[in-house]
Structure 1
Amino acid sequence: MNYRHSFHAGNSADVVKHSLLIALMRALQQKPGALTLIDTHAGCGLYDLGGDEAQRTGESAQGVLRAFADQNPLLDAYRAAVQAVNVGTGPQLYPGSPRFLAQLLRPQDLLILNEKHPEDAYTLRGVMRATSAAVHERDAYELWLAMLPPRTARGVVVVDPPYEQLDERDRITATLAAAHRKWAHGVTVIWYPLKDRATHSRWKAQVRKLGIPKVLGVEHWLYDEDRPGIYNGAGLFIVNPPYAFTQALPPLLDALRAVLAPEGHRGELTTEWLSA
């Protein structure tokens, strides 16, 4: 599955991913110690929802536009972060994870971004010019390991690949295992699209076999039954999520599920601890 950010900006997966990133960062920032934030597949950083690529899929209508039409206060932080890069009442631009993370930085925090595609990396540098972020143009998996352990005691690695390569999941699993050996207490967030339950179940089994003590799986299935061969939703593996985050998660997930459920479907947004 090829999942380039620009074609899917502001879709349901982005709403869930970025809402959870905000909640995760707020939980971690309850402690004053500095954080290093590393985004391994940063993309362009900012996307035009009226552009050709976003318009070709039209997925923002079922994602960020639904979130903006909703009144649930649990989504206020997400809406405010999107609104911060826009002028007017509705979102015309959509911030990628780098811009969400940049908004959440405290003076003591560090932000490290990586984007391998040269054109996207060039755009990313322009988008992030007014921030303190460092931008790299390297292989994502090489950078992931090279940056660990970070200079600060605590941090978060965000892994959000386009899944262009058939071995993407295998590379993530292998790199996660190596990363955990270097930085066992670090927080890692791995995003993935969901196509069918059987494929995803096999990957979950591989992650379980790594023996990492605390891995939380969050799965968002859009439809009440699988639709073979198409995009069915997305999820996150979150390694070492803080207690404050997991305790606040159930009402947020319920709010997101209700807002994003396609017409005629209830949808599922569930969590599961992946213990060996």
Structure 2
Amino acid sequence: MNYRHSFHAGNSADVVKHALLIALVRALQIKESALTLIDTHAGCGIYDLEGNEAQRTGEAAGGVLRAFADPNPLLDDYRTAVMAVNEGMNAGRGPRLYPGSPHILSQLLRGQDLLILNEKHPEDARSLRSAMRGTPAAVHERDAYELWLALLPTKSPRGVVVVDPPYEQTDERARITATLAAAHRKWAHGVTVIWYPLKDRAAHLRWKDKLGRLGIPKFLTVEHWLYDADQPGLYNGAGLFIINPPYAFTQGLPPLLGALRAALAPEGHRGEITADWLGD
């Protein structure tokens, strides 16, 4: 499955991913000690929802625009992060620009925190450097999996690695599995967030079984299924694997997931968001 960020900016997967990423980092920031935030597949940083690629799919209508239309205050932090790149926007027509994970992470930085971004595609890397100008982010242009391991353990005692690939390579899941195993050996206490699309349930369950055999404790799976029954051959939703989530994050997760499910359920569907520990 090829999942380039620019075609899907602001869709339901982005809303869930970014709302949870904000909550996760804020939970970690309850402690004053520094965080190193690493995004291995950073993309372009900011996306134009009225651009050709985003307009070709129109997926923002079922994602960020639904989140902006929903009054639930649990989504306020997410909406604030999107509004930060839309100064002077017309609230009645919704946002035009959408911040990717790099820009959202940059908004969360405290003075003691570090942000390291990586994007291998040269054109996207140029866009990323432009989008992040004026922020303290360091931008690399390397193989994501090589960088993931090379930067561990992080310079600060605590850190978060965000792994958000386009899944355009047939061996993407195998590389994630192998790199995660090696990363855990180097950095067992670190927080890792891995995003994935949900299309073929059987194939996904086989991957989860392989990940479960790694023996990593505190391995949370959050899955957002858009439809009440699988739609064969279609994008059915997305999920996050979160290794070592902090207690404050997991305690606040159920109401946030409920708000996201309600806001993002397609017409005629209730949808489902689940959070379970891998291996339970």
* Residue 196 in structure 1 maps to residue 200 in structure 2: yes
Distance in 1 between the 2:277 and 2:95 partners?
35
| Distance apart, 1:196 and its partner CA | 1.9
* TM superposition score normalised by structure 2: 0.98
Gaps of 5+ in 1: none
How big is the alpha-carbon RMSD for the aligned residues of Structure 1 and Structure 2? 0.7
Runs of 4+ in 1 over 3 A off after TM superposition: none
Distance in 2 between the 1:221 and 1:70 partners?
19
Q: Specify the alignment match of 2:274 in structure 1.
A: 270
Q: Specify the alignment match of 2:240 in structure 1.
A: 236
Distance in 1 between the 2:138 and 2:11 partners?
27
Q: Which amino acid aligns with 1:149?
A: P
Distance in 1 between the 2:161 and 2:260 partners?
23
Distance in 2 between the 1:275 and 1:173 partners?
16
Q: Specify the alignment match of 1:11 in structure 2.
A: 11
Q: Specify the alignment match of 2:152 in structure 1.
A: 148
* TM superposition score normalised by structure 1: 0.99
* Residue 223 in structure 1 maps to residue 227 in structure 2: yes
Q: Which amino acid aligns with 2:96?
A: Q
Work out whether residues 27 and 244 of structure 1, in 8 Å CA contact, stay in contact via their aligned partners in 2: yes
Q: 1:184-203: per-residue Cα shift (whole Å, max 9, x none)? A: 00000000000021111111
Q: Specify the alignment match of 1:187 in structure 2.
A: 191
The match for 2:132 among 99, 105, 128 is: 128
- Identical aligned residues as a percent: 80
3-state DSSP of counterpart to 1:129: coil
Q: 1:122-153: per-residue Cα shift (whole Å, max 9, x none)? A: 11001111000000000000000000001100
Work out whether residues 214 and 275 of structure 1, in 8 Å CA contact, stay in contact via their aligned partners in 2: no
Distance in 2 between the 1:258 and 1:26 partners?
23
Q: 1:85-130: per-residue Cα shift (whole Å, max 9, x none)? A: 0022220000000000000000000000000000000110011110
Q: Specify the alignment match of 2:58 in structure 1.
A: 58
Q: 1:4-45: per-residue Cα shift (whole Å, max 9, x none)? A: 000000000000000000000110000000000000000000
Q: Which amino acid aligns with 2:17?
A: K
Distance in 2 between the 1:124 and 1:37 partners?
16
Q: Specify the alignment match of 1:35 in structure 2.
A: 35
| Distance apart, 1:3 and its partner CA | 0.2
Work out whether residues 70 and 259 of structure 1, in 8 Å CA contact, stay in contact via their aligned partners in 2: yes
Matches within 5 A, 1:159-178: 159-178=163-182
Work out whether residues 47 and 93 of structure 1, in 8 Å CA contact, stay in contact via their aligned partners in 2: yes
Distance in 2 between the 1:34 and 1:226 partners?
42
| Distance apart, 1:254 and its partner CA | 0.4
Work out whether residues 212 and 275 of structure 1, in 8 Å CA contact, stay in contact via their aligned partners in 2: no
Q: Specify the alignment match of 1:250 in structure 2.
A: 254
Q: Which amino acid aligns with 1:82?
A: V
The match for 2:213 among 200, 209, 234 is: 209
Q: Specify the alignment match of 1:84 in structure 2.
A: 84
Distance in 2 between the 1:134 and 1:267 partners?
38
Distance in 2 between the 1:129 and 1:6 partners?
19
Gaps of 5+ in 2: none
Work out whether residues 85 and 94 of structure 1, in 8 Å CA contact, stay in contact via their aligned partners in 2: yes
Distance in 2 between the 1:272 and 1:15 partners?
20
Q: Which amino acid aligns with 1:213?
A: P
Distance in 1 between the 2:79 and 2:217 partners?
33
Q: Specify the alignment match of 1:109 in structure 2.
A: 113
Q: 22-31 or 83-92, which moves further after superposition? A: 83-92
| Distance apart, 1:275 and its partner CA | 2.8
3-state DSSP of counterpart to 1:16: helix
Distance in 1 between the 2:211 and 2:78 partners?
29
Work out whether residues 221 and 232 of structure 1, in 8 Å CA contact, stay in contact via their aligned partners in 2: yes
